[in-house]
Structure 1
Amino acid sequence: MAETATKDMNVQVVEDKVTSPWKEALRTFLRSKSAVAGTVIVLFFILVALFAPIIAPEGINEQKLGDPSTHLVPPSSEFWFGTDEFGRDIFSRVVWGAQISLTVGFGAVVLSAVLGSFLGIIAGYYGRWVDTIISRFFDILLAFPSILLAIAIVSILGSSLQNALIAIAIVNVPNFGRLIRSKVLSVKEEEYITAAKAIGMKDSRILLRHILPNSFAPVIVQGTLAIATAIIEAAALSFLGLGAEPPQPEWGKMLADARIYLMNAPWTMIFPGLAIMLTVLGFNLMGDGLRDALDPKMKN
């Protein structure tokens, strides 16, 4: 019996040793209460954005023009978040605004991650003058405060939500580029990369099959945190009149339109502001959890 128990214990030890790194990362992530809470918040807002046509009781710009009594109405059973100066239901506009803010956040981060990762991989793998040129390009972009650079880009391209997305993506390119470049510099020195070069494998194949998969974990973490930053930057640009245009229910634009009613109708600013705060908080908590789960340096 003792021998059988010892064998079972040895089998269990072997199974634990061959556990997939991704499974171990998932376990670490799920053990973090804050990370799970952040994920729940993010999933909640994603579901709100997806099912906005069902959740929102009113249209984006449906107004009660013939009934002045519905203008600037405080929260009630009929209007959960109250109404704005045009009699529009704030709850419906906040729900629809989730689509816009999340679209800009995800779109900007995907675009910046693709461009930044491409430039970072090329710079880290080839080095020399290629690395010098790309690194100096990153340094130039990082020399400007992100919001000021975004404002300058939107001013050149023209005020619109699409141009704001492009500006935010450009601003975040160096963050992804420098991150993946540093990872590539260490990965390319591994023995399996040397072996791949020795057998004559093409650079493109090495980059796609070996370098990129082994360098992408930090990008996932950075991307999650960058979505929160992108949502704030999009709201800031819209607040300044350089992003969403009326009558789009973007949260930053809603804050800008409601700022003159802060004293007599504070709910017009409170609920869009809470939506921004909770969404950003959710992505930050989830990003911190992913960092702890995927970064070996964070593990004891």
Structure 2
Amino acid sequence: MPQGLQVQPEQPVRNVKSPLAIAIGEFWKSYRKNKPAIVGTVIVLFFILLAVFADFIAPQGINDQNIGHKLLPPSAAHWFGTDDFGRDIFSRILFGARLSLRVGFLSVIGSIIVGTLLGTVAGYFGKILDVVISRIFDILLAFPSILLSIAIVAILGPSLNNALVAIAIVNVPVFGRLVRSRVLTVKEEEYVMAARSIGMGDARIIFQHVLPNSVAPIIVQGTLNIATAILDAAGLGFLGMGAQAPLPEWGKMLSDSREYIQTAPWTVLFPGLAIVLVVVGFNLIGDGLRDALDPRMKN
């Protein structure tokens, strides 16, 4: 080797983060600064854990009756008291969390799937498809959501599953119009035009370019709509159109206990408080996601 030449030691290869990892890191960095969103996340995770482990936490079965212990106030034996059948309210609220969260998540997932499909077709292809689908959305949005849900359940029959279907149908136009407006904007972007110019098919453009750039508002709206779905399920249950006895759905528990609101207020207080906390938790998460995912909300 000629004198004066030195061999440079090999530099270690650094791990390069993928764009997805960078995006997730930026999202979490922004999201965790939002204290109300963190509080909402803690509340929702708390109720999810209660629902998952209800079989191990609940001191009694949801239908274990003891007429001698009916309408007992909160105590060490019954943390939230008992109802008019002597059933432990704490146990019923734990299992009721399963029902309410299931309705919230499944109804919103169904609404997102159908609404995204219809909104994408309307926004991307336009013309007569856009007119027909948009008019269907307008008709559904012309009715108050709770009244339309009641009408659908009246046709299908009162039950928790039918209430879930009704809530999903009512929320379809919300996601459909959101996705349609986003698709109308994204499909005019330069990268979409470039993909179309090189012969890329419509299906590939939609799934590789249009939908991935429309996910953020769907996530935010979906989180907020979970809270709305839980409220709608509770409203239908309160009116006798949702969950039927003896299911421990929170709205049904409120309905069954409304005549004891003065003599045994705990029978109404704790189911109502559970509804309020879960709804507030999802709303706080939705606001935090909006702030973290929307570039316009960042400094």
Instruction: Give the TM-score normalised by structure 2.
Output: 0.92
Residue by residue over 1:226-266, the C-alpha shift from the partner in whole angstroms, topping out at 9 and shown as x without a partner, is 00000000000000000000000000000000000001000
Q: Work out the CA distance in 1 between the residues paired with 2:207 and 2:20.
A: 25
Residue by residue over 1:70-117, the C-alpha shift from the partner in whole angstroms, topping out at 9 and shown as x without a partner, is 110000000000000000000000000000000000010000011001
Q: Work out the CA distance in 1 between the residues paired with 2:212 and 2:44.
A: 26
Q: Which amino acid aligns with 2:229?
A: A
Of 12, 25, 28, the match for 1:26: 28
Shift of 1:19: 8.3
Q: Which amino acid aligns with 1:34?
A: P
Q: Work out the CA distance in 2 between the residues paired with 1:27 and 1:181.
A: 30
Of 30, 50, 53, the match for 1:51: 53
Unmatched runs of 5 consecutive residues or more in structure 1 = 1-14
Q: Work out the CA distance in 2 between the residues paired with 1:190 and 1:260.
A: 59
Aligned ranges 1:29-40 → 2 under 5 Å: 29-40=31-42
Q: Residue 107 and residue 18 in structure 1: after superposition, are their counterparts in 2 closer, same or farther (change >3 A)?
A: closer
Instruction: Give the TM-score normalised by structure 1.
Output: 0.92
Establish whether residue 97 from structure 1 lines up as the match of residue 96 from structure 2. yes
Partner SS state of residue 60, structure 1: coil
Q: Work out the CA distance in 2 between the residues paired with 1:299 and 1:75.
A: 46
Aligned ranges 1:261-300 → 2 under 5 Å: 261-300=260-299
Partner SS state of residue 214, structure 2: coil
What residue number does 1:178 align with? 177
What residue number does 1:197 align with? 196
Establish whether residue 208 from structure 1 lines up as the match of residue 207 from structure 2. yes
What residue number does 2:83 align with? 84
The percent of aligned pairs where both chains have the same amino acid is 64
Q: Work out the CA distance in 2 between the residues paired with 1:174 and 1:20.
A: 33
List structure 1 runs of 4+ shifted beyond 3 angstroms: none
Shift of 1:120: 0.7
Q: Residue 183 and residue 72 in structure 1: after superposition, are their counterparts in 2 closer, same or farther (change >3 A)?
A: same
What residue number does 1:156 align with? 155
Shift of 1:22: 3.2
Residue by residue over 1:127-173, the C-alpha shift from the partner in whole angstroms, topping out at 9 and shown as x without a partner, is 11111111111110000000000000100111010110000001101
What residue number does 1:230 align with? 229
Q: Work out the CA distance in 2 between the residues paired with 1:19 and 1:265.
A: 53
What residue number does 1:242 align with? 241
Partner SS state of residue 214, structure 1: helix
Residue by residue over 1:195-235, the C-alpha shift from the partner in whole angstroms, topping out at 9 and shown as x without a partner, is 21112211111111111111111000000000000000000
Q: Work out the CA distance in 2 between the residues paired with 1:270 and 1:50.
A: 23
What residue number does 1:6 align with? none
Q: Which amino acid aligns with 1:80?
A: W
Partner SS state of residue 62, structure 1: coil
Q: Which amino acid aligns with 2:30?
A: T
Q: Work out the CA distance in 2 between the residues paired with 1:157 and 1:51.
A: 32
After superposition, the CA RMSD in angstroms is: 1.4
Establish whether residue 121 from structure 1 lines up as the match of residue 120 from structure 2. yes
Q: Which amino acid aligns with 1:58?
A: Q
* Pairs aligned (count): 282
Q: Work out the CA distance in 2 between the residues paired with 1:25 and 1:184.
A: 23
Q: Work out the CA distance in 1 between the residues paired with 2:85 and 2:36.
A: 39
Q: Work out the CA distance in 2 between the residues paired with 1:226 and 1:93.
A: 25
Q: Work out the CA distance in 1 between the residues paired with 2:201 and 2:58.
A: 53
